[in-house]
């Protein structure tokens, strides 16, 4: 699909570089911008530039933050002795939205993935080592994706950190709430059998 304008082509190809956006969708987005109020559309463009220029990250946990230290790390009631290691902001928000976690986070900024050229040095691992060697730290929770890359990263972190005097935990794997057993994949169902719990526990948590 050849577009009749180079300017249009440029914006469309930028939208196309976003995940899950094909050429048709990119064109749809771009034409929508042109239908918008002109000032509004310009502010859209400016907001991207400003975001990239000015967005700050928490100096402790690498969470996105407008301040030097993010709201979670700065909160007096959050338990600083428990650190939940997550891949990125979306996973942090997902854990926050459960309302079940009162500790602090460490945002790695990705997972180890040799195929994508992402090695340990591309992630915020050194600062995590610094935090876990602190006496205050008691537990590290690996809340990384349940994929090969996520598991590899958890294992790598465990190897690097295991001489620190902290407890390591990872998220429970099992049958999702509301799912039927017959539609659960074998690996997950197998893990949920291996990791079975005293029935009293399940009553307490529900």
Chain residues that interact with a second copy, rule: CB under 8 A: 1, 3-8, 10-11, 14, 17-21, 24-25, 27-34, 36, 38, 41-56, 63-66, 70-72, 88-90, 93, 97
* Closer of 66 and 202 to a second copy (Cβ): 66
Residue 142 sits at φ, ψ, to 5 deg, of -85, 105
The rounded distance, in Å, linking the Cα atoms of 70 and 62 is: 8
Name beta bridge partners: 113.
118
The rounded distance, in Å, linking the Cα atoms of 170 and 146 is: 10
The rounded distance, in Å, linking the Cα atoms of 173 and 187 is: 10
Task: State the DSSP code for 182.
Answer: G
Least separation in angstroms between residue 24's CB and a second copy is 8
Strand boundaries in the chain, DSSP class E: 79-86, 103-107, 139-142, 167-170
Least separation in angstroms between residue 188's CB and a second copy is 23
* Closer of 72 and 161 to a second copy (Cβ): 72
Least separation in angstroms between residue 48's CB and a second copy is 3
Least separation in angstroms between residue 149's CB and a second copy is 15
Least separation in angstroms between residue 8's CB and a second copy is 6
* Closer of 98 and 194 to a second copy (Cβ): 98
Q: Where are the alpha helices (DSSP H) in 62-147?
A: 71-74, 89-98, 126-132
Least separation in angstroms between residue 116's CB and a second copy is 11
* Closer of 23 and 162 to a second copy (Cβ): 23
* Closer of 33 and 189 to a second copy (Cβ): 33
The rounded distance, in Å, linking the Cα atoms of 142 and 80 is: 16
In the numeric block, which tokens belong to residue 154? 């958890």
3-state DSSP assignment of residue 121: helix
* Closer of 31 and 197 to a second copy (Cβ): 31
């Amino acid at each position: 699909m050849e577009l009749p304008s180079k300017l249009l082509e440029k914006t469309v190809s930028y939208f196309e570089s976003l995940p899950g956006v094909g050429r048709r969708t990119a064109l749809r987005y771009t034409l929508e911008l042109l239908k918008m109020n002109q000032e509004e559309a310009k502010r859209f463009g400016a907001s991207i530039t400003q975001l990239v220029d000015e967005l700050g990250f928490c100096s402790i946990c690498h969470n996105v933050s407008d301040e030097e230290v993010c709201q979670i790390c700065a909160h007096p009631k959050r338990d600083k002795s428990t650190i939940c290691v997550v891949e990125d902001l979306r996973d942090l928000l997902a854990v926050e939205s459960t309302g079940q976690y009162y500790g602090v986070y460490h945002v790695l900024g990705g997972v180890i993935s040799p195929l994508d050229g992402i090695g340990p040095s591309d992630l915020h691992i050194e600062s995590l080592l610094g935090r876990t060697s602190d006496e205050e730290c008691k537990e590290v929770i690996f809340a990384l994706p349940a994929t090969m890359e996520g598991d590899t990263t958890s294992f790598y972190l465990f190897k690097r950190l295991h001489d620190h005097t902290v407890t390591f935990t990872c998220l429970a794997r099992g049958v999702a709430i509301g799912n039927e057993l017959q539609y659960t994949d074998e690996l997950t169902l197998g893990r949920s059998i291996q990791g079975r719990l005293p029935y009293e526990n399940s009553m307490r948590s529900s």
